[in-house]
Amino acid sequence: MKVLITGAGGMLGSSICREALKQGYELRALVLHNSRCTTLENLPLEIFHGNLLDEDSLENAVKGCDAVINVAASTQIWPRRSPLIYQINYEAVVKLVGICKRHNLKRFVQIGTANSFGHGSREKPGTEESAFMGGRYKMDYVDSKYKAQQFLIKEAGLGFPALIVNPTYMIGPYDSGQSSGKMIMALYEGKLPGYTSGMKNFVASKDVAVAAVNALKMGSPGSCFIAGNENLTFGQMFQKACEVRQLPFRLKRLPNGLIYAVGFFSSIWARIAQKPPILGFHMAQQATMKQCYNPAKAREILHMPSTPIEQAMAECLAWWKENDYIK
């Protein structure tokens, strides 16, 4: 089976390519024009330069493939509202599905986000049955991913073979520090003033890759799968990150009021200066929430592994050192 992987050069896409090759799939990797694709070097796959916003490009990328894993997305959170985010995260998905229908593809795996489901506490975590709560954040990233998910579920009900894998907060190699690893890199560089009271679900990116590739053959169309692992407070997460690098844990928890104030004034200044805020107000709100999830469904149906977060951090750190992102 030949599989098209969009966003193949990113953190998750690079892991998905390796897992798909390991499972014996023939791959075509869609990457942006002029992209160096250093994370895909020396892999036995076809590099296809294109753009999700170019329908002719998508048509040529899909041609000759049997399935698609759509990883490409805009994860931009500032400005919170941007037409480009919707073009990439929703409109491009609609176009891609239409093209896949014309070519009679056998499977379409969408990489969504756990934010498309309501979160909960450690005692009562969110599941695939939890109602969407992300609309309160007024962020096009969250809203566009949810809209794409609802579109795919509707299409699956009409016979299109699509399902969705919904990762939580991913940690792992092939991360330049501009995505999920940004917080950990800031910790290692001594740039974090402290941590917030919130919680998140953390997962090794390579485990999400296994779930995504297994979804080519496992799971029913129209299904969603939260791909996560450990529910941790930010304090617990940063402490683990310090242990991995054998650093003393000296961070202190910051008061919620201070976090909200920084977020509020940073957002105002960002609008004036037209620069991303240090911490936007809506991100400040999220940073104090308990955003826990239950990944049991993905573990059972997609056979998703549960790599300890310490191991994921160690693999991320090793890749950073090997590629001179960190000393």
Q: How confident is the model at residue 176 (pLDDT cuts 50, 70, 90)?
A: confident
Backbone angles phi, psi at 286, to 5 degrees: -65, -35
Please tell me the least confidently modeled range out of 53-62, 107-116, 173-182, 289-298: 173-182
Q: How far is CA 111 from the centre of its chain?
A: 7
What pLDDT does 5 receive? Answer: 99
| CB within 8 Å of 55: residues ≥ 6 apart | 95, 99
Cβ-contact 298, 109 below 8 angstroms: no
Torsional sign, CA 213, 178, 191, 263 = negative
Residue ranges per structural domain of the chain: 2-175+201-229+290-306
Tell me how far apart the alpha carbons of residues 278 and 263 are, in angstroms, rounded to a whole number: 8
Q: Closest Cα to residue 60, out of 74, 45, 46, 43? A: 46
**Which pLDDT score, from 0 to 100, does residue 182 have?**
87
Confidence of residue 280 (pLDDT cuts 50, 70, 90): confident
Quick one: average pLDDT of 155-171? Answer: 98
Q: Which residue's entry shows tokens 């170019």?
A: 54
- Integer Cα distance of 185 and 171 in angstroms: 11
Q: What is the arithmetic mean of pLDDT over 68-89?
A: 91
Decide if 240 contacts 229 (C-beta within 8 A): no
What pLDDT sits at residue 177?
61
pLDDT at 327: 79
Tokens of 268: 């105002």
Tell me the pLDDT band of 170, cut-offs 50, 70 and 90: very high
Q: Picking from 138-152, 219-233, 267-281, which range would have the lowest pLDDT averaged per residue?
A: 267-281
What's the pLDDT score for residue 286? 87
Long-range Cβ contact pairs of 45-52 (< 8 A, separation 24 or more):
45/8, 45/17, 45/21, 48/4, 52/6, 52/88, 52/92, 52/96
Q: Are strands 230-233 and 199-204 parallel, antiparallel or unpaired?
A: antiparallel
Q: Give the pLDDT score at 256.
A: 93
Say if residues 226 and 127 touch (Cβ distance below 8 Å).
yes
Nearest-angstrom CA–CA distance, 255 and 165: 35
E-strand ranges in the chain read 2-6, 26-32, 46-50, 67-70, 107-111, 162-167, 169-171, 199-204, 224-227, 230-233, 290-291
Confidence of residue 278 (pLDDT cuts 50, 70, 90): confident
Task: Give 179's pLDDT tier (boundaries 50, 70, 90).
Answer: low
In what helix (H) or strand (E) does residue 312 lie, and over which residues does it extend?
helix 309-322
224-227/162-167 β-pairing: parallel
In CATH, what number does 2-175+201-229+290-306 get?
Answer: 3.40.50.720
Neighbours of 148 (CB within 10 A): 27
At residue 112, the pLDDT reads: 98
User: DSSP letter string over 183-202?
Assistant: HHHHHHTT----B-S-EEEE
Confidence check: pLDDT of 109 > 70: yes
| Residue 46 pLDDT | 98
Separation of alpha carbons 185 and 299, rounded Å:
29
Query: pTM for the full model?
Result: 0.96
| Percentage of residues of the chain with pLDDT beyond 90 | 82
The pLDDT value recorded for residue 213 is 99
Mean pLDDT of 319-327: 91
